[in-house]
Amino acid sequence: MMIFQSVALRYTSSDAVAERAAALLREELLLRSAVCAEPADLTIEFVRTETDNADCYAIYVDGSHITLSAGGLRGYIFAYSHVLRKVECRRGALRLVEDPSGEYRPNKPIRGHQLGYRPKNNTYDAWSPEQFYRYFRDMMFFNSNVVELMPGGTDDGQRNELMSHSENEMMYVCSELADSLDMDVSVWYPNCEESTIEESAEMRGKILAKMKRLNYVFPPGGDPGDYPAEEFLQRAIAAEREIRKTHPNVEMWPSAQKPKRIPGWGDEFIRVMKTEPEEISGIITGPNRAFSLDDLRRFLPHKYPIRFYPDVTHNVRCEYPVHVLEDDWHYAFASTMGRESINPRPYEYAYMHTLAQRYIAGSVSYSEGCNDDLNKMIYGYLDFDPTTPVREILEDYARVFLIGADAEKAADGIAALEKNWYGDPAENPLIDATLAIWESLAAETPELMENWRFVSYLFRAKGDAVIRKRRIFEQKLCKSARKLMFAGKIDEAITVLETPEEPAYSALRAELFDLAAILYRTNGMQLDIKNFHASAPDRGAVLETIDRPITNRLFYRTQLEKIRALPENEQAAAARELIEHESVREDEFMFSVTEDTLKRFGGKPLDAYLNFRGDSEGYNNGELPTSLLGLYDHFFFHCMLGGFTPGQNYVLKLMCSDRRRNPMPETDLIITANGKEVYRGPYFGGRPDPEYDAKWLGRKYISQTFDLPADVFENGCLKLRFEENTYGVEFSEFRILRADS
């Protein structure tokens, strides 16, 4: 394709909308160093057409003349954004890498992202109105047409030191900025306050009346705002009537996200919706949903479209954990990168979009900051055109946002970051190759070190490399220390475990802080609490968690200090016992949610939830081994096992989350072995073992022991099932041991 040094923009002088679009494009071209001047070697012309859809546009390329055709400002923005996605900028010149000619129509009418200005997120609370405006335009590069905002009083946090405006002030400003781009505005407005239905509706009408533009209102059914389903929908209906007094075209879209402590909420929700209230335009579903997408579509009257609320921002303890179908993100990453780290996951989210797209009218994603920037652009554009290859979107993303970089190499680098998180980091050499890609791009285009997107990916690449290097190093120390402990050489084992990291590791680790400082300065990303004002370690503050234990090195060190305090004649036996506890006899069995993952049994049950505590200092501080950091949480668990000795009695030792700390109603735990019931009774009705709990569980869990008589085994095979139908079964580990051991 041709290379262009200068661009001329043309439009009918009477078309104010085209003039506005041309001004916006001129700003984008100047960011790419292209000069808008006469004479020009490329002309871009804006032509208004009649259309039934503001999101439609057409592009026609004829040599050095490009015509952009649309029915209004939004279509014009999508059109020139499409062209810029196919433009490579090198040394101030523009090169069109392919012919974008064609007519374009959205697959889904609703495509956007939630940008909540509140103290809890990891980026947005530090933004100015200008930064929100820039990000709105960035979203439109990938054809998003909705931004979702938040009013004040929707959270338990207060205005923090980063926020230049109150929540409502910023909401009003952002509504006006979105309107200036012809972008629709949604408001996430939960029922957090204590009020009557009438008071709630009146307050919402008053607060939202000041918005320049308001298209949708989204009250979640729960998380937060817990009301019985009928009252929840009554509140939505009353609010819609009140808000329509100032925004006559507003649409009310409540969500079927159920409160956790209201049984039967979903059934009641559907009962009311089957009366077909006219005040409700559609239904939203997302995390903590009352129904699967398929069930919601089956039960809900067809007149109501479904909007999806996908969580693209979190990695663990969420709707879409990393490797969602297996939920097997390695604990070394989960402990250090945590819940809201920089997380480009293009292929995984594209797959999740494939599963959802047949049911929905579009999506507005849940986001807590710019850690998920790439995921937003992937999900948003797939709602526009689900046939687009992910690789194409990655290259478009690089050309639009990483200006000057080799787009193909940058796309490789982003895809590689997703692959970095497969398996044990110590066994993934791709991590080193990924870092090499990003360091090479930094050397080729040093100006990108002021580009927050580029720096965020470089930070991730270096962070992954830090984790890999430390894990390899510590695994070697632990291996040597185990041999010494088994031999009773306590002091020598401690000396090995205290071996310092090499200078190269320390230098790489130090670079993370420098990159974090750039991210805070350029985009307000908050990667620690002290320096960058993060609200909590699990709110994207990776520098708070990056040094968390990822092997048993600290656990061994902590235990050996306790052993060294014992009488000298007991120390060797105690050290040997520590190592022996990590394994069982050949005809016994042990399973750790963290170490083994559910892949050991062929994958996780549908809707099973895996909690993880390794990024919490309260759990991962050397008091517990890594094997106890994960927690299975579901109404049932089952597995099939073999290799037991026929005629031998066994016991099941189950390490459970100690939910007695939180009052809970009486529940029944049912345990079956090869279909035979071996226990039915109170959840904590197994035989207690306080001495074991104090010694091996750090008082963080509680063990229970149940009998598995020889006659429940079938030729040494065991089909084991745990079931509890009110709160679910929560356990971190279980062991099947000989009864006489």
**pLDDT tens readout for residues 570-603:** 999 999 999 999 999 999 999 999 999 998 888 7
Mean pLDDT computed over 14-39: 88
pLDDT of residue 740: 87
* Token representation of residue 197: 């239905």
Tens digits of residue pLDDT in 305-359? 999 999 999 999 998 999 988 899 999 999 999 999 999 999 999 999 999 999 9
pLDDT band at 565 (very low <50, low <70, confident <90, very high): very high
What pLDDT, on a 0 to 100 scale, did the predictor assign at position 471? 98
Q: What is the per-residue pLDDT for 661? A: 54
Distance CA 412, CA 310 (A): 25
pLDDT in tens, 216-240: 999 999 988 889 999 999 999 999 9
> Which of 354, 224, 227 lies closest to 287, judged by CA?
224
Does the pLDDT of residue 137 top 70, yes or no? yes
pLDDT tens, residue by residue, 62-102: 999 999 999 999 999 999 999 999 999 887 789 999 999 99
Over 60: is that where the pLDDT of 664 sits? no
What's the pLDDT tens digit per position in 527-559? 999 999 999 999 999 999 999 999 999 999 999
Give mean pLDDT, residues 270-287: 97
3-class DSSP assignment, residue 640: strand
How far apart are alpha carbons 593 and 551 in whole angstroms? 15
Q: Which of 87-96, 427-436, 622-631 has the lowest average pLDDT?
A: 87-96
Average pLDDT over residues 142-166: 88
Quick one: pLDDT at residue 155? 62
Q: Are strands 87-90 and 102-104 parallel, antiparallel or unpaired?
A: unpaired
8 A C-beta contact, residue 47 and residue 360:
no
Taking only Cα atoms into account, the Rg of the chain, rounded to an integer number of angstroms, comes to: 29
What percent of the chain lies above the pLDDT cut of 90?
87
pLDDT > 90? residue 569? yes
pLDDT of residue 665: 60
Does the pLDDT at position 406 exceed 90? Answer: yes
pLDDT at residue 250, rounded to an integer: 98
Whole-number average pLDDT of the chain: 94
* Model confidence at 3: pLDDT above 70: yes
**pLDDT given for residue 33 in this prediction:** 79
Calculate mean pLDDT across residues 13-25: 94
pLDDT at 663 > cutoff 80: no
Model confidence at 662, in pLDDT bands (50, 70, 90)?
low
Interatomic CA distance for residues 189 and 206, integer angstroms: 13
Residues recorded for the chain: 741
CA distance 198 to 192: 15
**Category of 257 on φ-ψ map: left (φ > 0), alpha (ψ -120 to 50) or beta:** beta
Residue 604 binned pLDDT confidence (cut-offs 50, 70, 90): confident
Segment 477-483 shows an average pLDDT of 98
Whether 140 shows a pLDDT value over 60: the answer reads: yes
pLDDT higher than threshold 90 for residue 13:
no
Query: Distance (Å, rounded) from C-alpha 487 to C-alpha 508?
Result: 36
DSSP reduced 3-state for 668? strand
Beta carbons of 458 and 442 less than 8 angstroms apart:
yes
Q: Residue 447 — very low, low, confident or very high, per pLDDT cuts 50/70/90?
A: very high
State the first-to-last Cα distance of the chain, in angstroms, to the nearest integer: 76
Whose CA is closest to 31, among 134, 178, 143, 177?
Answer: 134
pLDDT mean over 144-157: 85
